[in-house]
Amino acid sequence: MKESDQLDAAFAALANPTRRAILARLAQGEATVNTLAEPFEMSLPAISRHIRVLEDAGLITRGRDAQFRPCTLNTEPLQVVASWTDRYRHIWDNRFDVMAGLLKTMKEQQDE
């Protein structure tokens, strides 16, 4: 998969709060679909669709352990996202520095 396709799939998957919550749970260790579904008030098929999106984006993998198919977090696509965002870090750092300077000036003017 090309990097741009991988980024598109990862960002699309990460755009949903349920999928982000599933990834947060998987950051603690592998889990079954039933375990992942517990905190949500939605049907098992709906959770399975979310898991499929995450799996298609490469963010999770599903293993096979007897009749169970535990889900595991795959960090490689997240590393691609982090690498892409790091390319723009200097822009945000500069903007935050400018904002900090403006806030300091405003505070100094207010204190006068």
Confidence of residue 66 (pLDDT cuts 50, 70, 90): low
Taking only the tens place, the pLDDT of each residue in 17-38 is: 999 999 999 999 999 999 999 9
The band of 86, judged by pLDDT with boundaries at 50, 70 and 90, is: very high
CB 53 within 8 A of CB 8: no
In this predicted structure, the answer to whether residue 68 has a pLDDT above a threshold of 80 is no
Q: List beta partners, residue 71.
A: 31, 62
In DSSP terms, 62 is beta-bridged to: 71
Q: How far apart are CA 29 and CA 44, in angstroms?
A: 20
**Could you tell me the pTM of the whole model?**
0.78
Check whether domain 3-87 has CATH 1.10.150.130, yes or no: no
- Asked whether the beta carbons of 57 and 20 are under 8 A apart, the reply is no
With bands split at pLDDT 50, 70 and 90, how would you rate the model's confidence at 64?
A: confident
Span 55-75, mean pLDDT? 88
Q: Answer whether 12's CB lies under 8 Å from 55's CB.
A: no
